[in-house]
Structure formats: structure tokens, C-alpha cells
Structure 1
Amino acid sequence: MKGCRVQASSSRSLLRYASARPGCPKLLCFPYAGGVAAGYRNWAVALSPHVDVVAVEYPGRGFRRREQLSRRIVDLVQAIIPEIVAEMTGPIILFGHSMGALVAFEVLRVLSPRQPVVAAVMSGCRPPVLRGFEPEIHALPDDEFIEELRKLDGTPEELLADRDLMELAMPVLRADFEAVATYDPPKALKLSCPVLVYGGESDNSVGVEELEGWREHAAVSCAITAFPGNHFFVRSAEQDVLSTLRRDIRSLTAV
């Protein structure tokens, strides 16, 4: 893509784009279940040159596809923290969608005492304070598992209908859904930076009213924005999301 190239890095987990100016705020992005770091390439183009987009690649997919899949949020976090500390300096904003928000939440818990975080954007995710028993859809037979994916309305129907492709995709998806189902966070934790919450107005898995629960985790401030669309509004309403994100970053960092 013109104007956006991958910047060389010693990190095995961070995909970094070199289209932003030096010293600008860094947006550290955590993918949803089954997602890959390259999914944030468009964001790097849209937010440059004022925001440096850095995307996390989980093991077992993308350029880490030969690595063993992780089935616990805590394992993902423990592996990525040293690389974040080593690779990233200056103001950092965390963004995570769905499962990515849970990973970002845990990263913030560990990272904030060591390195200042400007804000955390929690997108399409029920807050830890409201989390209870999570359905273990990762253990369902293939047909039932695919039907659950279909309900989320985020996987293209042509992929869901292609058994050969789904055979390749399901191990990653099952591992990620298991990580979400087994996640057991501290429900009383207060985050030490402003919290921005994004949600889909028609999201059947995370209601807009449930997003209000993020206020229980906000020690500084919490602002909630609803976008048109379902659980994957970050794709269907991408331009609106990026416009809002650009505005929010500007207000937080004066860039």
C-alpha cells in the first residue's frame, strides 16, 4: 500500500509502520479473536503522519503462524510486555477490540507502573466488572462452532461455507475463544489513565448499556461512543471509528 511500509524491528510480536513522524503518539493495537496485525494497516495510512500505528501479532497467525497458539490471555500478555517496553518510547495509547480489549486491559495493568499510558480505548468488549461465566464455544463441534461465528456476523459467509479454509482457520479461532472463556480478571481494578469505550449500536454480544460498566474501572475518566453497526462496527463503520479516534487522540495529546 502506497505511503505505508513495515518498519524493520527486532520484535517478533510488533508490526510497526514507518509512515508517521518521529516523536508522535503511538497507537498500540490488539486484534480481536482470529485477527492479525496486518488488519490495522489501513489505520496506519489514515492516521499518519500524526499517529504511529503499532499492531500486535499473536502467536500462531500472520508472520508468527509457525509458532504455538496461546490459549490464555495471561500468556499473551507475559510474552508481549518485554517487547513493548523494549520497542516503544514516548506517549502510548492502547486500542483493543473484543478479545483485544481484554489483552489491552491486562497489558495496561502490567505496563502502567513502568511506562506512562495516555489512554486506553476499549472497543466492543464487556468490561471485566460484568464478566461472569463465558460460554465455552471453543469446545463445540465444528458445525455448532461455525454457527456461533455466523451469529457474530464478522466472518465472511464465503469463508464459513468453505470447509477447507475453515479447517485452517478454526484452530486459531478456537484458541482465541478459549483464551476469552478462561479469562479471570480482577473485577475491582481501577485503570490509571482515561478510558475511551467504543461500541456497536446493534452489537448482539455486547450491549451498549453493558459498556457503561467500564466506568467502574476508570479512576480518571470514561467516555463512551456508540457507532452504527454490529460487533464488527470497527470494519463496517471504519471511517467513523478512525475519525473519532483521530479526534480523541488529538484531544489527549494535542497533536
Structure 2
Amino acid sequence: MTDEFRETGSWIRRFHPAPDARGRLVCFPHAGGSATYYFPVAQALSPATDVLAIQYPGRQDRRAEPCVEDIEELAGLIVEELRPWGDVPLAFFGHSMGATVAFEVARRLEAEGTPPLALFVSGRRAPSRVREETVHLADDDRLIDDITRLSGTDSAVLSDPEILRMILPAVRSDYKAAETYRFRPGPPLGSEVVALVGDHDPQVTVEEAGSWREHTTGPFELKVYPGGHFFLDAHMPAILDLIRGHLDVATLGT
């Protein structure tokens, strides 16, 4: 079997295989999100970069599987799935909850001696910055209000009761994972970290995003964009250019 048709299993989506790429970007979805959110990223970065998108249990084609409500447990499971893909250097991109998951995966791989080239963390405060949040304990209406406030789900989905019933369990489980996560002290990463944040994001301040610099001994960059929690939807071309630039530099050195 050629690399283009490698088996990805239930955890990984490879929408636009790039078998000749010098590096891979692994993308981690936000709370309630799925791998398909990163389809345009894979399309835009291929063939220079091979993009893998993580599909968490409990959504879309994995809807019948129980959700994982603990970020450290989720990270451990993902590490197992990513090991076979380490034949070329990996970089990570995670938005919101996905940024924390990506960080915990990076910690584990670095401890094994295979650190990612770079970690792009979007719309998420640094792991050591804690907010007491309990939205996952609220009723369905409060949960829907929070999703709507953040503009993280298409309005057509929010207005369809049947689809809402399907996605709310995954959303609630992901909120629980994100809200109950507590940073476990340990060595900082050695990888480059690039933090991206919207200047009006109700979930994270620019200062909280800047605290990611405390979690690496490698290069750090903070990028601030106009917008709220899903600022990246409006600024995707610029963000893709940013990713390309960093990966070009990183892979040339491998």
C-alpha cells in the first residue's frame, strides 16, 4: 500500500494526502467540533504539508462511541494513534479545547524523545491559567446559549432540534473535559509555540494567551487578530500563511 492510501483508523482524517510532504500538521478540534472543521486547512496546505485531523469519539461517524471527558486521557489515546505517523516531523494546531489537547499530546511525545516541530495554539488560555467554569453542569438551554455566544456552531444546526439532540452530548462532554482540566506541573516544552487569539474573545484575554510563553523554552510568538472566539474563520488566509511560513523554516532544518 502506498503512503497516499495509508490506513488512518477511526481517530485520524487525512482529507488531502500529501505523501511527498516534508512535514505533517496535526489538527485538534474545539469543544463540540469534529475533524471536518479542518477540511479547508488540509485542502489549502496540501501538497506542501500533509494535514491530519483528529476525530474525537462521540461525534459524526463515531457518534455511537462514548466521549472522553478527561483531556489527559484523551491525549494519551491520541499519542498511540500518532506514533505511526512520526516518520516525518509533526507540528500541531489546536483551537480552544483542541489547543489544550495538542499541548498535552506534545508533552507526551517530547517525553518520548519525539517533540513536535511547532505548536500552534488558538483561542485558548495557557494551561497554567485557570478559570472556574461550570457550563457543562448547566441545562441544555444554557449550553446552547453558550455555543451561540461563541458562534462556534452553524446557526442552521442550532435551529434544528434533531441535530441539536445529536450533538449536545458531545458538546457537554467536551465542555466538561475543558472546564475540569488542571495543568499538571512539569518541564516546559522545547518546541516553538505560536499563540493566536482574538482581541474580543470572551473565553481568553490577550494576556492569558501570552502566558503560553511560560510553557516553552523554545521560540514564542503571540499573534492577535480582530474578532471573538472564532476569529480564525475570518482570518484563515492570513493564519494559513503564518503556518506555512513557520513550517517552511522548521522543515528546512530537519
Normalized against structure 2, the TM-score is what?
0.91
What amino acid is aligned across from residue 121 of structure 2 in structure 1?
A: M
What amino acid is aligned across from residue 115 of structure 2 in structure 1?
A: P
In the alignment, what sits opposite 1:230? Answer: 228
Q: CA RMSD in A?
A: 1.8
1:158 to 145, 156, 159: 156
In the alignment, what sits opposite 1:74? Answer: 72
In the alignment, what sits opposite 2:115? Answer: 116
In the alignment, what sits opposite 1:201? Answer: 199
Identity %: 35
Gaps of 5+ in 2: none
1:204-229 alpha-carbon deviations (Å, 9 max, x no partner): 21112221111111211210111222
SS of match in other structure, 1:130: coil
In the alignment, what sits opposite 1:86? Answer: 84
Gaps of 5+ in 1: 1-5
1:220 to 218, 233, 236: 218
Contact 1:21 1:50 in 2 (8 A): no
In the alignment, what sits opposite 2:241? Answer: 243
Q: CA deviation at 1:21?
A: 4.1
Report the Cα distance in structure 2 between the residues aligned to 1:83 and 1:158, rounded to whole angstroms.
33
In the alignment, what sits opposite 1:36? Answer: 34
Contact 2:26 2:52 in 1 (8 A): yes
In the alignment, what sits opposite 1:102? Answer: 100
What amino acid is aligned across from residue 180 of structure 2 in structure 1?
A: T
1:57 to 55, 64, 85: 55
Contact 1:8 1:16 in 2 (8 A): no
Summarize the Cα distance change of 1:234–1:112 in structure 2 as closer, same or farther, 3 Å threshold. Answer: same
Report the Cα distance in structure 1 between the residues aligned to 2:44 and 2:137, rounded to whole angstroms.
38
Report the Cα distance in structure 1 between the residues aligned to 2:240 and 2:85, rounded to whole angstroms.
24
In the alignment, what sits opposite 2:140? Answer: 142
Contact 1:7 1:18 in 2 (8 A): no
Contact 1:201 1:228 in 2 (8 A): yes
What amino acid is aligned across from residue 87 of structure 1 in structure 2?
A: W
In the alignment, what sits opposite 1:190? Answer: 188
Report the Cα distance in structure 1 between the residues aligned to 2:18 and 2:99, rounded to whole angstroms.
24
For these two proteins, the number of residue pairs brought into alignment is: 249
4+ residue runs of structure 1 moved beyond 6 angstroms? Answer: none
SS of match in other structure, 2:223: strand
Contact 2:95 2:123 in 1 (8 A): yes
SS of match in other structure, 1:229: coil
In the alignment, what sits opposite 1:3? Answer: none
Deviates more, 1:151-160 or 1:57-66: 151-160
Q: CA deviation at 1:164?
A: 2.3
Q: CA deviation at 1:30?
A: 0.5
Contact 1:17 1:52 in 2 (8 A): no
Report the Cα distance in structure 2 between the residues aligned to 1:7 and 1:53, rounded to whole angstroms.
14
* In the alignment, structure 1 residue 126 sits paired with structure 2 residue 125: yes
In the alignment, what sits opposite 1:175? Answer: 173
Q: CA deviation at 1:8?
A: 4.1
Contact 2:198 2:224 in 1 (8 A): yes
Contact 1:95 1:120 in 2 (8 A): yes
Summarize the Cα distance change of 1:7–1:98 in structure 2 as closer, same or farther, 3 Å threshold. Answer: farther
What amino acid is aligned across from residue 98 of structure 2 in structure 1?
A: G
Normalized against structure 1, the TM-score is what?
0.91
Q: CA deviation at 1:83?
A: 1.4
In the alignment, what sits opposite 1:22? Answer: 20
Contact 1:19 1:45 in 2 (8 A): no
Contact 1:36 1:58 in 2 (8 A): yes
Summarize the Cα distance change of 1:46–1:240 in structure 2 as closer, same or farther, 3 Å threshold. Answer: same
